[in-house]
Structure 1
Amino acid sequence: MSQVEIYTDGACSGNPGPGGYGVVLKYGDKIKELSAAYRKTTNNRMEILAAIIGLEALRRPCTVTLYSDSQYLVNAMTKGWVKRWKANNWMRNKQEAAKNIDLWERMLPLLEQHQVDWVWVKGHADNYYNNRCDFLAVRAIKEQALLEDEGFKK
């Protein structure tokens, strides 16, 4: 399988508020950048969506190292939270429903196609590609036509 690095970041101007994501895919010396923005969403939704968009951009099964500065995303994947929430009918515990179910349901089939190693990186630090993703996300909010986040719920 091909080895790919995916860097992701989400950003929001207000939370909830206008939000965007940035993705950098690296395959050897090839680099592809992706971004989009939404009228009203949350930072967590953009963090998850960035990872989804990066994985969906792959044309065949790959071994992926996915870098994110979202502890929510990385922990949800590496600590098995998402699989547990799904097994419990999308409940985090007996009283609290999981959030962003539409995105987690979109993510799970991608994880069956690709072998993903999740790596947390400190945001706004010295990781060039994480900073580039942040730039892409913020720029998308300012410069792109804002889309509707159909899954966003107050």
Structure 2
Amino acid sequence: MKNLEKIQIYTDGSCLGNQFSISDGGYGAIVITPDETIELAQGYRDTTNNRMELRAVIAALQTAQFESDITVFSDSKYVIDAFNLRWIDSWIKRGWRKSNRKPVENQDLWKELLEYVHGLKIRWVWVKGHSGNAFNERADFLANTAAANGNKRTDYGNTVCTRVDVP
């Protein structure tokens, strides 16, 4: 997958139970290239919804490592606004602190994501979740399936990019 003109990425994260609780979760991502469509998913133990949202984008960008025009579609305002509203730039300037001086949550994953974002031309697009967008719905299905099924990883360390063959 080198020198492709346009790539579309759809991502979603899932956490079983309340989005603010720590429980089982998973991510789902779809990478659409001119040549193929790749589906990714992985489940994690002891995680949060926001961590799974971040891991979904990281896994997709791991798969799409090249200089190209990429559009990332996500229903996570947390992820999309961090780039579009330049929160991430402010966090870095303040030493990974928010405007209220509290530490930014999920710094490990934000830093990992920045490694993949560096040097790429990425457009960040928010899509409303559960609104009928077929690829967003599929990413949601992959994330929820990964969260509910066995074979979960512990939520620490680098993101694992796991291709899936889910019907």
The normalised TM-score by structure 1 is 0.93
- Counterparts of 1:59-98 in structure 2, within 5 Å, are 59-98=65-104
- Give the corresponding residue for 2:8: 5
> Number of matched residues?
151
Asked if structure 2 preserves the Cα contact closer than 8 Å seen for 1:39 and 1:146, the reply is yes
> Which letter does structure 2 place at the counterpart of 1:111?
V
- Give the corresponding residue for 2:48: 42
Asked if structure 1 preserves the Cα contact closer than 8 Å seen for 2:31 and 2:64, the reply is no
Asked if structure 1 preserves the Cα contact closer than 8 Å seen for 2:65 and 2:116, the reply is no
Change (3 A) 1:5 1:105: same
Quote how far apart the aligned CAs of 1:94 are: 4.5
- Give the corresponding residue for 1:127: 133
Aligned equivalents of 1:114 and 1:56: distance in 2?
12
3-state SS, counterpart of residue 153 of structure 2 = coil
3-state SS, counterpart of residue 6 of structure 1 = strand
Aligned equivalents of 1:114 and 1:145: distance in 2?
32
> What is the aligned-residue identity percentage?
38
Aligned equivalents of 1:129 and 1:22: distance in 2?
10
Gaps of 5+ in 1: none
Asked if structure 2 preserves the Cα contact closer than 8 Å seen for 1:36 and 1:144, the reply is no
**Deviant stretches of 4+, over 4 Å:** none
Asked if structure 2 preserves the Cα contact closer than 8 Å seen for 1:19 and 1:46, the reply is yes
Aligned equivalents of 1:105 and 1:29: distance in 2?
30
Q: 2:117 aligns with which of 100, 111, 115?
A: 111
- Give the corresponding residue for 1:19: 25
The normalised TM-score by structure 2 is 0.86
**Structure (1/2) with the larger helix percentage:** 1
Aligned equivalents of 1:94 and 1:24: distance in 2?
35
Change (3 A) 1:142 1:112: same
Over the residues paired in the alignment, what is the CA RMSD in angstroms?
1.3
Gaps of 5+ in 2: 158-167
